[in-house]
Amino acid sequence: MPKKKKGGEEPPKKEQKIVYIDDGSTVANMDGTFGRRGQPRQRSTWREKARTYFAVVKKLLPYMFCTLIAFTLVFIILLAATGRI
């Protein structure tokens, strides 16, 4: 147990230092930071990138349509409220 100083003050606690390991990756590209060290990273082909893109777009289409419908409804309500319909 650390001794107290005369004024009743406790000695400052030592803070644990955070150690960052730099492997040369940028913040935007952190996919190769864990696992397979020293092995060359496999690059995806254009076909794999296109498949991934279209799969994501297909999943986002319903949300986009819901947003467009909501904007359209708000616009129509505002037009009706101002008497321009």
pLDDT in tens, 35-74: 555 666 678 899 999 999 999 999 999 999 999 999 999 9
pLDDT in tens, 5-45: 566 677 777 888 877 777 665 566 656 555 555 666 678 89
Q: How far apart are CA 11 and CA 39, in angstroms?
A: 48
- Helices and strands, counts by H and E, the chain: 1, 0
